[in-house]
Amino acid sequence: MLNQRLEEADIVSRFCRYQLVVKKNLPIRSSEMGLLIYVSKQTSPITPLEISEFFHISKPTVTEMISRLINSNYLGKIPSPEDRRSYTLVITEQGQALVETALNDYLKSMELLKIGLGDDEYGVLMSILQKANKIFEKEMEK
């Protein structure tokens, strides 16, 4: 039983490593790229607290990531007119350009999977991954 779980863990690990190959040419960390993509998909400015809640990570971690992205000119900070301590975030042109480049590379790998698996198996894989994510999200909420 233990050997089987170790083999399964190795399969998942290899899949994740192959995905990291897509991300290795990024000028920022993959976690920062995730944050940047999330901000870019929003229709209005977003707060650090909203990012913290979405990714289930601490506010100090989010603040550190945001600082690096602002210093790299990928994000902009808009101070709140009501509360000087509060602010919202917007993606800069440079940040949007990076997101588009990274998404193109990432979507190529997803397309490769879809072609290799076929529509039916790809759909099954996506369904299973959604279920797995929900299991992990539920566990993180405890």
Could you give all domains of the chain from N- to C-terminal order, each with its CATH number? 2-141 (1.10.10.10)
Which of 28, 26, 22 minimizes the C-alpha distance to 69?
A: 28
pLDDT tens-digit profile of 47-67?
999 999 999 899 999 999 999
Q: State whether residue 87 is helix, strand or coil.
A: strand
pLDDT of res. 22:
59
105's CB contacts (< 8 A; 6+ apart) are: 22, 25
- Residue reference for tokens 């099954």: 124
pLDDT of res. 24:
64
pLDDT of res. 125:
93
In this predicted structure, the answer to whether residue 19 has a pLDDT above a threshold of 80 is no
Give percent of the chain above pLDDT 70.
Answer: 96
In this predicted structure, the answer to whether residue 111 has a pLDDT above a threshold of 60 is yes
> Is residue 23 very low, low, confident or very high in pLDDT (cuts 50, 70, 90)?
low
